Amino acid sequence: MKAPIPGRIPAALVACALLLASAPPAGAAGAVPSGDLLSRFFVWWNETYKVPGGYTADAFGRWFTPDATLVLEGKEIIRGVDGWARHFQRIQAGGGEVEIVVPFKQVFKQGNKIYTYHVIRSRRDGKVSCALAAGHAEMRGGKISTIVLVRSTLEPDKGPLDPDCWTQ
């Protein structure tokens, strides 16, 4: 993992919080996903997670620029489509289930960015996990050039879970 990118988290959090607070709700559970590129990517990602060997650099290249990055909690953890493939191959090889809930709780586009607020849920080794994620994707040439997210794990003993979280 690389060192944090100074100032990236506060700017991302403030921008997402302000923009998401002013955005209309995404809709009720069971709604059809938005047609935006990021929603379509995560629909593909969810389906491909179930297909051994599906996460390839060529497959990610359909969605991402060759130098695309993933920044989580201010740290760049992926750069380039080969990195995307390796990272998610490792997660897939770990077994269990992982899903990005689509449609997102909130999603909207402003300029070359798509802002999102969504649930990430998983089951592995008899345990469930759930997190809320907020952030944005930047587009370049019709593809995703970066995804920047901050996540917060939800713990059932510390408060109610989001309705989209798995409980067993």
Domain boundaries, the chain: 8-158
The CATH label, of 3.10.450.50, 2.60.120.10, 3.40.50.280, 3.40.50.150, for the domain at 8-158 is: 3.10.450.50
Q: Is 112 helix (H, G, I), strand (E, B) or coil?
A: coil
Q: pTM (2 decimals)?
A: 0.81
Q: Write the pLDDT tens digit of every residue in 33-67.
A: 679 999 999 999 999 999 999 999 999 999 999 99
Q: How far apart are CA 60 and CA 81, in angstroms?
A: 6
Report how many helices (DSSP H) and strands (DSSP E) the chain contains, helices first.
4, 7
Q: Write the pLDDT tens digit of every residue in 69-128.
A: 999 999 999 999 999 999 999 999 999 999 999 999 999 999 999 999 999 999 999 999
Q: What is the DSSP string of 64-109?
A: EEEEEEEEETTEEEEESHHHHHHHHHHHHHT-SEEEE-SS-SEEEE
**CB–CB of 88/14 below 8 Å?**
no
